[in-house]
């Protein structure tokens, strides 16, 4: 089975990215053939600084490697290194109904936020479909809130196959990850760069400490019982410990005797312990950027070899493969 997923280079990776997606990618590469990419074409809908985008792209790629994506097990590449995906986007565009795009959750959310839409934002799902279909993915690991992306891809692929009378594309399945964690940010909302409430995995230790220590709590004293299910700190703590430790802390929380300040210090310690190996490896990769570039070149070569086969079939079916 071939699994595919990508992540936008929109900033430094945070723990929400890791527990919500990358941790699952690392686990999947031992069970399936993984194709993971840095979605820099998608990032152009919000980033208009070429130098900054290049830096972010390499930063995300290095972070993937530091966090456990193994180029001997999975294909890691940059989206723009597979230019076939943009030609396929056009071929898919001609069979994609406007109504389908108008129903996209991401598009409607942006409109609700008052963002003035452009064609890139509106056609975003078609590019996403091309990403998935170009390497003939079998499964796409997503959270429940992202299931629509895969459903739209299936609709677009089916319409192309039907329009041109050939089964060019297999219909991928959404692999809903039940263990995907919705990580709360420093303000209690879902961790997101949009909310400026993230805790970066590779930020300096003093920055991580400051962010965690600044999380707002209620006014309960040390001795007062606290509810782990309605607390901004406990969900963060349990990300970094096993179930036994989490249950023990939940029991202590309920009894009282633990102050928020001590809990925050403990979270900092657990955070740094959990990501110690990844942070060390990231520092090594930052010192040897040529290795990251080599991995991306090889990943791009492998992904492009698959993409060419798919695109040729699509071009042939659509009748645009004229001169041979």
- β-strand pairing of 173-176 with 2-7: unpaired
pTM of the predicted protein model: 0.92
CB 256 within 8 A of CB 231: no
Q: Which of 193, 211, 220, 281 is catalytic?
A: 193
Average pLDDT over residues 241-268: 93
Please report the sign of the dihedral spanned by the C-alpha atoms of residue 134, residue 135, residue 138, residue 144: negative
| Range(s) of the domain holding residue 75 | 2-182+289-318
Q: Which of 110, 226, 264, 282 is catalytic?
A: 110
pLDDT tier, 14 (very low <50, low <70, confident <90, very high otherwise): very high
The predicted structure's pLDDT at residue 112: 80
> What mean pLDDT is reported for the chain?
93
Residue 180 has pLDDT above 70, yes or no: no
Percent of the chain with pLDDT over 70: 98
Encode pLDDT of 44-70 as tens digits: 988 999 999 999 999 999 999 999 999
Encode pLDDT of 125-142 as tens digits: 999 999 999 999 999 998
* Domain identity same for 206 and 177: no
Q: Determine the Cα–Cα distance for residues 159 and 173; give it in Å rounded to an integer.
A: 16
In a domain, 237, yes or no: yes
- Number of separate domains in the chain: 2
In a domain, 49, yes or no: yes
* Domain identity same for 248 and 174: no
The residue assigned the tokens 């594309």 is 169
Encode pLDDT of 107-129 as tens digits: 887 788 777 788 998 999 999 99
In a domain, 60, yes or no: yes
Please give the residue that has the higher pLDDT: either 304 or 116.
304
- Worst-scoring range by mean pLDDT, 79-88, 140-149, 172-181, 250-259? 172-181
The predicted structure's pLDDT at residue 101: 93
Phi and psi at 42, nearest 5°, equal -60, -35
* Domain identity same for 206 and 80: no
* Domain identity same for 162 and 216: no
Distances in whole angstroms, Cα of residue 293 to Cα of each of 10, 62, 184, 203: 19, 9, 33, 22
In a domain, 114, yes or no: yes
* Domain identity same for 164 and 218: no
Q: Which of 190, 211, 265, 270 is catalytic?
A: 190
The predicted structure's pLDDT at residue 154: 97
The predicted structure's pLDDT at residue 117: 80
Phi and psi at 109, nearest 5°, equal -65, -40
* Domain identity same for 301 and 228: no
Beta-carbon contacts of residue 88 (< 8 Å; ≥ 6 apart) = 130, 133, 134, 307, 310, 311, 314
Please give the residue that has the higher pLDDT: either 270 or 176.
270
In a domain, 189, yes or no: no
* Domain identity same for 217 and 82: no
**CATH code at position 240:** 1.10.240.10
Q: Determine the Cα–Cα distance for residues 2 and 31; give it in Å rounded to an integer.
A: 10
Q: Determine the Cα–Cα distance for residues 299 and 268; give it in Å rounded to an integer.
A: 35
Host H or E run for residue 205: helix 205-213
* Domain identity same for 69 and 216: no
The predicted structure's pLDDT at residue 54: 97
Phi and psi at 227, nearest 5°, equal -95, 110
Tokens of 1: 């089975």
Active site residue 190: yes
For residue 156, give the nearest of 180, 131, 139 by alpha carbon.
131
Active site residue 110: yes
pLDDT tier, 11 (very low <50, low <70, confident <90, very high otherwise): confident
| Burial class of residue 111 in the structure, from the number of CB atoms within 10 Å of its CB (0-12 exposed, 13-18 middle, 19+ buried) | middle
């Amino acid at each position: 089975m071939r699994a595919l997923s990508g992540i936008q280079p929109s900033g430094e990776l945070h723990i929400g990215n890791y527990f919500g997606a990358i941790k699952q990618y690392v686990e999947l590469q031992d069970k399936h053939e993984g194709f993971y990419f840095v979605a820099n074409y998608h990032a152009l809908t919000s980033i208009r600084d070429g130098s900054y985008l290049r830096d972010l792209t390499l930063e995300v790629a290095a972070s993937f490697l530091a966090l456990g994506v193994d180029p001997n097990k999975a294909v890691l590449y940059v989206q723009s290194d597979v230019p076939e995906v943009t030609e396929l986007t056009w071929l898919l565009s001609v069979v994609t109904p406007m109504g389908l795009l108008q129903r996209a959750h991401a598009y409607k959310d942006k409109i609700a936020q008052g963002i003035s839409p452009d064609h890139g934002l509106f056609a975003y799902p078609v590019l996403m479909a091309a990403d998935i279909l170009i390497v003939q993915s079998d499964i796409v690991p997503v959270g429940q809130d992202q299931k629509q992306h895969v459903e739209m891809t299936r609709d677009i692929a089916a319409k192309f196959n039907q329009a041109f009378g050939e089964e060019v594309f297999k219909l991928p399945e959404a692999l809903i990850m039940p263990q995907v964690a919705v990580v709360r940010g420093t303000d209690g909302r879902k961790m997101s760069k949009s909310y400026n409430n993230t805790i970066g995995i590779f930020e300096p230790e003093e920055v991580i400490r400051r962010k965690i220590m600044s999380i707002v709590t209620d006014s309960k004293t040390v001795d007062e019982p606290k509810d782990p299910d309605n607390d901004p700190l406990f969900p963060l703590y349990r990300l970094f410990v096993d179930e036994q430790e989490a249950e023990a802390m939940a029991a202590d929380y309920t009894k009282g005797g633990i102050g928020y300040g001590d809990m925050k210090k403990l979270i900092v310690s657990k955070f740094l312990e959990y990501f110690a190996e990844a942070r060390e490896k990231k520092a090594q990769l930052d010192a040897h950027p040529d290795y990251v570039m080599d991995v991306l070149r090889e990943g791009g070569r492998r992904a492009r070899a698959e993409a060419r086969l798919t695109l040729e079939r699509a071009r042939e079916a659509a009748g645009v493969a004229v001169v041979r």
